């Protein structure tokens, strides 16, 4: 017997209560593609609809319908287009409202059914609570969602399944980002469901790795400036010599964010383009 049913893409299950779909927008910044999560077995929430891609959104809707779920709201981790652009379309398909921390920089998402997420908002899912956790740094509006039990943290771009997150001005703020990593560390989640890349089962280890990576980058920056005061392009040339040229612009943003953090802490200063350690004597 042949079947004319379209083969729906099957999601990856996360601790029996969340289901990951990956959009087909793979790339250097999106890894294998944006992860969209359906959270909950009957009354469900969707975390990050992803890009406005018909195939991705219709396979999500098909799966939600065939598994008899009702979607209570579409939640955004932040407003970047690879996470949020499909929100309005999906909201129409599912007749569900959109919730985001602060849509001010992204007027596109201010739909009639959009509401600002309160920083302490909590949603009931199965026998657990899905709690909003402000984790600014990658962008000012970045939030994570913590489902406990069983202890899943949905981190958007704050922590990825592989590699490190881009933190670069004007949106990125390294001081806020490092503080957000510390907030996540103290929550001791069981696993991380990132916006890109695989599910992370060693959550404590991954958060520690992220914190140590930033500490190491900061020490390298201070070390380089102590040797010789430098501009951002010359710091990038020295510290990111092995980085492909097309990614060096991103590296410059990351260096800039690191310098701004050190400046806030009174460790470095700059005159024009050139950055110095505060203690530097010529």
Binding site for Zn ion (CB under 5 A): 80, 157
Based on CB atoms, which residue is closest to Zn ion, 96 or 166?
A: 166
Instruction: Compute the distance between CA of residue 4 and CA of residue 173 in angstroms, rounded to an integer.
Output: 51
- Which is closer to Zn ion, CB of 11 or CB of 137? 137
Q: Tell me whether residue 21 or residue 275 sits nearer to Zn ion (CB atom).
A: 21
CB of 26 to Zn ion, least distance (A): 15
Q: Which is nearer to Zn ion, 60 or 159 (CB)?
A: 159
Minimum distance of Zn ion from residue 200's CB (angstroms): 17
Least spacing, CB of residue 207 vs Zn ion, in Å? 18
Give the Cα separation of 111 and 9 in Å (integer): 29
Q: List, in order, residues 6 or more apart from 149 with CB less than 8 Å away.
A: 127, 128
In this complex, which beta carbon is closest to Zn ion, that of residue 53 or of residue 157?
157
Among residues 157 and 173, whose Cβ is nearest to Zn ion?
157
Least distance in angstroms from the C-beta of 157 to Zn ion: 4
Least distance (Å) between residue 32 CB and Zn ion: 15
Contact predicate 13/21, CB 8 Å: no
- Select 33 or 40, whichever has its Cβ closest to Zn ion: 33
CB of 135 to Zn ion, least distance (A): 12
**Smallest distance from the beta carbon of 5 to Zn ion, in angstroms?**
35
Minimum distance from CB of 15 to Zn ion (Å)? 24
Tokens of 222: 């201070």
Report the residue number, 141 or 218, with the smaller CB distance to Zn ion: 141
The full 3-state SS of the chain, as one line of letters, equals: CCCCCCCCCCCEEECCCEEEEECCCCECCCECCEEEEEECCCEEEEECCCCCCHHHHHHHHHHHHHCCCEEEEEECCCCCHHHHCCHHHHHHHHCCCEEECCCCCCHHHCCCCEEECCCCCEEEECCEEEEEEECCCCCCCCEEEEEECCCEEEEECCCCCCCCCCCCCCCCCHHHHHHHHHHHHHHCCCEEEECECCCECCHHHHHHHHHHHHHHHHHHHHHHHHHCCECHHHHHHHHCCCCCHHHHHHHHHHHHHHHHHHHHCCCEEEECCEEEECCCCC
């Amino acid at each position: 017997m042949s079947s004319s049913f379209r083969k729906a893409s099957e999601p990856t299950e996360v601790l029996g209560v969340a289901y990951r779909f990956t959009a087909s927008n793979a790339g250097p910044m999106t890894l294998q593609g944006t992860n969209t999560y359906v959270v909950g077995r009957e009354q469900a929430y969707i975390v990050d609809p992803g890009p406005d891609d018909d195939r991705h959104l219709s396979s999500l809707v098909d799966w939600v319908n065939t598994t008899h779920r009702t979607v209570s709201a579409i939640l955004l981790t932040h407003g970047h287009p690879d996470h949020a652009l499909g929100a309005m379309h999906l909201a129409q398909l599912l007749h569900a409202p959109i919730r985001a921390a602060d849509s001010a920089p992204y007027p596109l998402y201010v739909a009639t059914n959009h509401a600002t997420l309160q920083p302490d908002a909590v949603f009931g899912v199965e026998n657990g609570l899905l709690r909003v956790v402000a984790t600014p740094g990658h962008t000012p509006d970045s939030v994570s969602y913590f489902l406990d039990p069983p202890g899943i943290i949905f981190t958007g771009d704050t922590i990825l399944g592989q590699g490190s997150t881009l933190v670069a001005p004007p949106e990125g703020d390294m001081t806020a980002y490092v503080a957000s990593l510390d907030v996540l560390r103290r929550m001791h989640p069981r696993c991380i469901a990132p916006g890109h890349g695989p599910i992370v089962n060693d959550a404590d280890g991954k958060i520690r790795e992220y914190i140590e990576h930033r500490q190491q980058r900061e020490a390298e920056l201070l070390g380089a400036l102590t040797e010789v005061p430098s501009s951002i392009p010359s710091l990038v040339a020295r510290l990111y010599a092995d980085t492909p040229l097309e990614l060096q612009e991103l590296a410059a943003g990351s260096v800039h964010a690191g310098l701004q953090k050190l400046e806030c802490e009174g460790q470095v200063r700059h005159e024009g383009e050139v950055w110095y350690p505060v203690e530097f004597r010529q």
